[in-house]
């Protein structure tokens, strides 16, 4: 696979996820390969991103590691969004990271609109949803702010306010900050 090829990039991320998941679950490459019906050599090649795993192989590897197949895939993998659903002027389809960014932008705008609506109490947004959004944006206050600047094109001061609207500091100091660490 040529360098810069999306399939090559995805297979590297998928391979890293397979290896990390396997190791986190205390399994050897031989154990997972055996339970997945693969050779150890094939599994190691997948982990190193040298080959693209088939859908069936990923499902078998996930099963062997005791996780869902989706947990082995990078965020936005296979995601396609009609561009017109996220922009009135856009046409065609967005895929992968572009689609994920567009959806995050839409979701952020909705969250901010709900947070800023005066009659709406902040608890209408579930803490679990806000924590998941914070994870998707990077998990730490600095990473969240950097991702917000990238997605929304805001300045440093506005970005800090936006982060506070998504995840107030009281929630961070009450333990969610540790939950967000990945």
How far apart CA 60 and CA 48 sit, in angstroms, is 17
Q: How far apart are the first and last CA of the chain?
A: 30
Residue 175 pLDDT exceeds 50:
no
The tokens describing 161, both together, are: 């306010």
According to DSSP H, which parts of the chain are helical? Answer: 6-24, 29-36, 40-47, 55-65, 96-116, 127-136, 141-152, 156-166, 169-171, 177-180
Domains plus CATH for the chain? 6-72 (1.10.260.40), 94-180 (no CATH)
pLDDT of 177 reads 44
Contact present, 117 and 91 (Cβ < 8 Å): no
Highest mean pLDDT among 34-38, 52-56, 101-105, 112-116: 34-38
13 against 99, higher pLDDT = 13
Residue 170: pLDDT above 60?
no
Mean pLDDT computed over 53-71: 92
Q: How far apart are CA 83 and CA 98, in angstroms?
A: 10
Q: What's the chain's average pLDDT?
A: 75
pLDDT band at 5 (very low <50, low <70, confident <90, very high): very low
Please give the Cα distance from 104 to 151 (Å, whole number): 8
In terms of average pLDDT, the best of 13-22, 65-74, 103-112 is 13-22
CA–CA separation, 19 vs 163, rounded Å? 33
């Amino acid at each position: 696979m040529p360098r810069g090829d999306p399939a090559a990039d995805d297979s590297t991320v998928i391979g890293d996820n397979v290896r990390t998941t396997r190791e986190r679950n205390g399994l050897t490459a031989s154990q997972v390969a055996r339970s997945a019906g693969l050779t150890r050599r094939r599994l190691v090649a997948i982990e190193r991103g040298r080959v693209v795993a088939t859908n069936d192989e990923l499902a078998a590897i996930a099963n062997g590691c005791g996780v869902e197949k989706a947990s082995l895939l990078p965020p936005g993998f296979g995601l396609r969004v009609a561009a017109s659903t996220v922009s009135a002027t856009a046409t065609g389809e967005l895929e992968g990271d572009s689609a994920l960014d567009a959806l995050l932008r839409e979701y952020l705008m909705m969250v901010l609109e709900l947070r800023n609506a005066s009659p709406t109490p902040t608890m209408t947004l579930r803490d679990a949803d806000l924590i998941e959004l914070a994870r998707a944006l990077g998990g730490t206050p600095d990473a969240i702010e950097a991702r917000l600047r990238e997605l929304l094109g805001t300045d440093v001061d506005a970005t800090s306010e936006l982060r506070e609207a998504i995840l107030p500091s009281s929630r961070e100091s009450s333990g969610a900050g540790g939950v967000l660490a990945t």
